Structure 1
Amino acid sequence: MEPSTNIALISSGEPEEPEENITYMDALLYKAAAEGIIEEFNNHPELQLESLKTPNHDNLLHVNLATQESAVDIVYSLFILFPEGYVLFHQYLSIFISMIKREKRSDFFEQILSKCPSLLLQTNAKGQTPLHVAARFGHSAIVKLLIKSCAKARDGDLEKLGMDQVNAVREMLRITDQESNTALHEAAGCGNVEVVKALLEFEDPDFPYSANKKQETPLYIAARRRGSGRLLTLLLDKFKSTGHGGPHGRTALHAAAMAGDAEAIRVILKKKGNLTKERDEDGHTPLHYAAHFGRSRRISVVKELLKWDVSAAYIGDKKRAMTPLLMAARQGYLVTVSKILSLCRDCCEKVDNKGLSLLHYLAFRVSSSPIGRSLFKYGGSEIVNGSFRNLRKLEDAFGMTPQEVYNALRSEKHHHKQKQIKELLEEIENDQVAEEPVCSFPIRNVSAESLEKEREAHLIVAALIATVAFAAAITVPGGLQSEKGSEQGTPLLIHEAVFKAFVVTNALAFILSVSALTIHFGVLDNLLSQFKFFRRTVLYRTRSVSGILGYATLAMVTAFSTGSYVVLKPSHGLAFASYLICPAFLLCIWGIVNPSIHM
């Protein structure tokens, strides 16, 4: 057996180049290390274990730790044998198998380290010790075992260590890799509480864990993870002065706000309440982050931050002097806007450096929604806040009030203002907060030409669907009764449930497509759309027809699927494949129109 080989590559016939040492591990030994088979190494006492390395300089312990603990193969085999009972006990079975594997891994580590203790502090090409890898993958039992091995504690008694042993453990804990990560950095990223507990047990409370090369401290890394409250509590309780910094001037509170974790916010603020006004390089506070990322699930984060320090709502950023309220309105997060206003009602008086107020940003976002009509079209009857009401006549840098912005976005007669607004919104859309861009503004050009083109497309689609549906109704699947009698001329498959579904969906497709044709011809869109005062009504009808044709298309696809199934029923495989066309079509359409998939 060839355990491990170093190959020196020297170019021949050319000027000498530095030698390149390539290390690799024998396939059988690699497999034994990955699976924790100690017998393979016991059978070859002549092996120099410290020299067994992969090309990345991973030793036996690195290889074993990087191998996933998985019971998938065994569980899948049992599922094949006992499918009925699988759901009831598979979870317990997985836990049981994982416990066996962990015990086997611990035994493998103990025996390997007894043979070659130097593997404990051996680093790979990235400068990572086995402790780094164990912490990254959340192997708490192995982390404890490595600490015990480093301390050379007998019988696992870690409570009676001398200072020399404790110092040896601390030296191992503080080893950094090429990215300046310690094992604690890796454990914070993993989020395993037991691993962090084990790493902190012998650490000095006064030791300052510095940031890695990405400027991330362990506390910041932990705060990025949603559900890290217990982890943050451990770190904050252990150290007297915990580093909380992150990249670009962010703090752990910024990270928790980005993660949308209200519990983490509470934990951090109890120990570091002064972080609410800390700004990143762009002047953004944690409340800015919560507002920008502020979909409904982050409302609790906004509430926690304001409950601790309401003055953060009045702080503007460096680039645009945007307050958190303006950021939430810019994103269109109306629930977040409402929550901020409910806790500090006069913060809406703050405007950005272009004079844009809360109502300006709401006008950008809600110009075509019922909320927009309640705020602007009907005179803002729902506005009862005095500070809010005063914004209605506040002009921006272009001399436009929120009402004028709203009117310009809804009518083409304000062409010059529309152009100014669109240029402004294009500029705003280029902004980012923590690499997260501003949501695009759904502003649409409405002209007679665009309405006419859309109308023509609707007419073609509606005519095609109506033609296909009419033809399918006349030539029904399965044919008609030809024998003379009371049922002559009726469909042969009239009593089949799937055939009835075909008839209903086909009729629905025909009626919807004819309705679309009637709407367009009935209101003479091509004539009336030339008049600007009527264009908004035409636009509404055009959008209605778009929805009707969408339902007509779905009905047509369903009719095709059921019609194919009923005539192919004798061939079960072919019939079933045909029947799946409809749900497959629906899934494809959903995938195309759902924006979260593209994000």
Structure 2
Amino acid sequence: MDPTMYFAAMKGSMEDGDFSVVDHLAREEENGYQVTPKGNTILHVAALFGQRAFVGEVLKISPALLCYKNKKNETALHIAANVGQSEVVRELLSIQGQETVLVRMKDDIGDTAMHKAVRSGHIDIVRILVKLLLDPEHDFPANKAEETPLYLAAESGFHDALIEILNVCKEPTHVAGPSKRTPLHAAVIQEHTECAMALWQWNKPLCEESDIWGWNSLHYAVKQGLTELVSDMLGWKKSLAYLPAGSESDWTTAFHIAASEGDALMIYELLNHCLDCWDMVNSNGQNALHVAILKGHNETLLNVLSLESIICDSLVDEADNEGNTPLHLLAASGNRVPQMILDHPSAKKMAFNKQNQTPLDIALSSTWTIKKEKLVGDLCSINGRLGQRDFKVKRKTETIGNIRQMRKEDDQDKAKRDKTEIEKIMKAAQIQVVVATLLMTVTFAAGFTLPGGLYNDDSPNKGMAILLRKTAFRAFVISDVLAFAFSAGAIFIYFFMADCDVDEDEECKRDWFKVLRSYYYIAGILQLLAMGAVVIAFVTGMYATLANSLALAISVCVIGCVSFLMYFWIIIWV
């Protein structure tokens, strides 16, 4: 495109000296339009920069430009809707007889102007276009990605645009979006509660539609923790709670989803509407407690169900398709067994799965750790036993040998970790002792160079501090002494740490590690207290010497205290 023409379209100028847009357009109708590298005509450029008057004049001369498409098959309306040029959109749609055709035109990816406006968040343009779109089936089509304007509004949480579109769509209908998801799916997954509620009120059966993975909107609402929406859906149709989520060979239920998320409020909500939904199992024959244990949320579920002992009794001893009870899964996970299960009479300590394993067998079959040792102790405390359905002597020998070997390996790993941690502490202590020494030196010097000076005359007060009677000076002295004492205490601890002999046997080394860590924490606290006391000493000393200029004295105190608190807050926050 000629630079002069491009500049004219960008600035909205029909004439510039010897240049005339009218003359150029007259010649171009015969010889072809000038375009940019993207195929944009002068109308596209004017629409991009919001030159409404220029657009109107160009269309009077060359009406054919209205439907002209660039290399992406975008009209000027697509461009204006995408960048939010509402005045240009009005001008383009003012051509009688062409507005319906124009708003239905699609670009390369199947987007109409409405798609562009919704995706870019331009509500004023959405309202302009909605007035022309009276046929929902044809005026709100899906693009090549199967996204309708309604779906885009729901997914992005564009509530105002969604309401405008729903007001036009009098009949509850929808076109399946990506992955066969409805707009309600999209709103729920993105946790746009207002949009989800509006869509559900508009077309309640939408919540029964499943995507390609077999999940409906209720399943996603349960997973996302949208309690209010779930309550409304189940209030409308309780049977939704019993619909499976997934395929014919791999499915779960809404209650299992809530249990896997550890969402106590959602579990309460589901039980409130459908008290027996806890009794369902998934495609693997697992109940909600099985699933909660696999996801590490068993404590949450047990706390909720503890109010209903009968429910808890049924869940604790139920086996899945592989014969595993919740106790088997706990043993496999390596987590501690909750006290509620330890004390529960229905927990089958000697239950065998299809591999002839008891919970204790499973616990002993994996790598030995401190965590696993506690788990085995829990199982033994409730009379858990080895299954011993294979060769008895072999089992006993292997078990004892494995335990000893795993304990040895675990002790070696722990010794390495302790050694690394000791090295880190000692390196940090070397830096901290320098800081503590500086603090001690500064506070020592401040104690003999007091602010305000000393009396030098022959009066009885000779050698005494001049500002002794001022409260701020007394605060300075006390905070200075505290800073000196705290920093001296920190240095003493660091010296003691440097003298610690950690090259002893393993048992003593572990004890020294605990001692060093405790001393390091204590020294760190003393050092922080010393730093705080130094700040207080500084601001009170300045205040005592600047008392005659109250505004300046207060400013110094505020700046000093606030800066220290701000740094401290940043350290904690980070």
So what's the TM-score if we normalise by structure 1?
A: 0.61
**Cα distance in structure 1, aligned partners of 2:209 and 2:282:** 23
The structure-2 alpha-carbon separation of the partners of 1:404 and 1:193, relative to structure 1 and needing over 3 Å to count, comes to closer
The structure-2 alpha-carbon separation of the partners of 1:472 and 1:179, relative to structure 1 and needing over 3 Å to count, comes to same
**Cα distance in structure 2, aligned partners of 1:562 and 1:110:** 67
- Structure 2: any 5+ residue segments left out of the alignment? 11-32, 352-357, 378-401, 457-461, 544-551
Determine helix, strand or coil for the equivalent of 2:360.
coil
CA displacement at 1:462 relative to structure 2 = 5.7
The structure-2 alpha-carbon separation of the partners of 1:220 and 1:566, relative to structure 1 and needing over 3 Å to count, comes to same
CA displacement at 1:241 relative to structure 2 = 6.1
Partner of 1:31: 49
**Does the Cα contact within 8 Å between 2:477 and 2:537 map onto a contact in 1?**
no
Partner of 2:61: 46
The structure-2 alpha-carbon separation of the partners of 1:407 and 1:210, relative to structure 1 and needing over 3 Å to count, comes to same
**Cα distance in structure 2, aligned partners of 1:6 and 1:501:** 84
**Does the Cα contact within 8 Å between 1:176 and 1:182 map onto a contact in 2?**
yes
Are 1:244 and 2:209 counterparts?
Answer: yes
CA displacement at 1:180 relative to structure 2 = 0.8
Partner of 1:299: 264
CA displacement at 1:113 relative to structure 2 = 1.1
Partner of 2:93: 113
CA displacement at 1:236 relative to structure 2 = 5.9
Deviates more, 1:115-124 or 1:282-291: 282-291
Partner of 2:439: 469
The structure-2 alpha-carbon separation of the partners of 1:585 and 1:262, relative to structure 1 and needing over 3 Å to count, comes to same
CA displacement at 1:220 relative to structure 2 = 0.9
The structure-2 alpha-carbon separation of the partners of 1:578 and 1:147, relative to structure 1 and needing over 3 Å to count, comes to same
- After TM superposition, list the pairs within 5 Å mapping 1:136-151 onto structure 2: 136=119, 142-151=125-134
Partner of 2:383: none
Are 1:348 and 2:316 counterparts?
Answer: yes
Q: Deviations over 1:487-542 (max 9, x none)?
A: 359999993699579648835853773685599699x784898338x95x766655
CA displacement at 1:42 relative to structure 2 = 3.8
**Cα distance in structure 1, aligned partners of 2:105 and 2:48:** 17
**Does the Cα contact within 8 Å between 2:81 and 2:89 map onto a contact in 1?**
no
Partner of 1:386: 345
**Does the Cα contact within 8 Å between 2:44 and 2:79 map onto a contact in 1?**
no
**Does the Cα contact within 8 Å between 1:478 and 1:567 map onto a contact in 2?**
no
**Does the Cα contact within 8 Å between 1:508 and 1:555 map onto a contact in 2?**
no
**Cα distance in structure 1, aligned partners of 2:485 and 2:375:** 40
Partner of 2:24: none
**Cα distance in structure 2, aligned partners of 1:329 and 1:389:** 18
Q: Partner amino acid for 1:387?
A: S
Partner of 2:19: none
Partner of 1:530: 506
**Cα distance in structure 2, aligned partners of 1:187 and 1:576:** 49
Partner of 2:17: none
Partner of 2:107: 124
The structure-2 alpha-carbon separation of the partners of 1:288 and 1:60, relative to structure 1 and needing over 3 Å to count, comes to farther
Q: Partner amino acid for 2:570?
A: L
**Cα distance in structure 2, aligned partners of 1:209 and 1:53:** 27
Partner of 1:179: 145
- After TM superposition, list the pairs within 5 Å mapping 1:211-290 onto structure 2: 211-212=177-178, 214-226=179-191, 228=193, 231-232=196-197, 234-235=199-200, 237-238=202-203, 244-246=209-211, 248-269=213-234, 270-271=236-237, 273-280=239-246, 283-290=251-258
Determine helix, strand or coil for the equivalent of 1:126.
coil
**Does the Cα contact within 8 Å between 1:354 and 1:397 map onto a contact in 2?**
no
Q: Tell me the number of residue pairs that the alignment of Structure 1 and Structure 2 aligns.
A: 484
Partner of 2:20: none
The structure-2 alpha-carbon separation of the partners of 1:388 and 1:244, relative to structure 1 and needing over 3 Å to count, comes to same
CA displacement at 1:232 relative to structure 2 = 3.9
CA displacement at 1:235 relative to structure 2 = 3.5
**Does the Cα contact within 8 Å between 1:189 and 1:222 map onto a contact in 2?**
yes
**Cα distance in structure 2, aligned partners of 1:43 and 1:348:** 79
**Does the Cα contact within 8 Å between 2:115 and 2:148 map onto a contact in 1?**
yes
CA displacement at 1:179 relative to structure 2 = 0.8
Q: Deviations over 1:217-264 (max 9, x none)?
A: 212112124352663464465365666334644332232123211012
If you compute each CA radius of gyration, which structure gives the higher value, 1 or 2?
Answer: 2
Partner of 2:155: 189
The structure-2 alpha-carbon separation of the partners of 1:589 and 1:149, relative to structure 1 and needing over 3 Å to count, comes to same
Are 1:339 and 2:294 counterparts?
Answer: no
Determine helix, strand or coil for the equivalent of 1:475.
helix
Percent identity reads: 15
The structure-2 alpha-carbon separation of the partners of 1:560 and 1:221, relative to structure 1 and needing over 3 Å to count, comes to farther
Q: Partner amino acid for 2:149?
A: A
**Does the Cα contact within 8 Å between 1:512 and 1:548 map onto a contact in 2?**
no
Q: Partner amino acid for 1:251?
A: N
CA displacement at 1:446 relative to structure 2 = 7.9
The structure-2 alpha-carbon separation of the partners of 1:530 and 1:186, relative to structure 1 and needing over 3 Å to count, comes to same
**Does the Cα contact within 8 Å between 1:316 and 1:322 map onto a contact in 2?**
yes
Deviates more, 1:108-117 or 1:125-134: 108-117
**Does the Cα contact within 8 Å between 1:287 and 1:312 map onto a contact in 2?**
yes
Q: Partner amino acid for 1:50?
A: L
CA displacement at 1:455 relative to structure 2 = 5.6
CA displacement at 1:469 relative to structure 2 = 3.1
**Cα distance in structure 2, aligned partners of 1:113 and 1:279:** 46
Give the superposed CA RMSD.
5.5
**Does the Cα contact within 8 Å between 1:257 and 1:301 map onto a contact in 2?**
yes
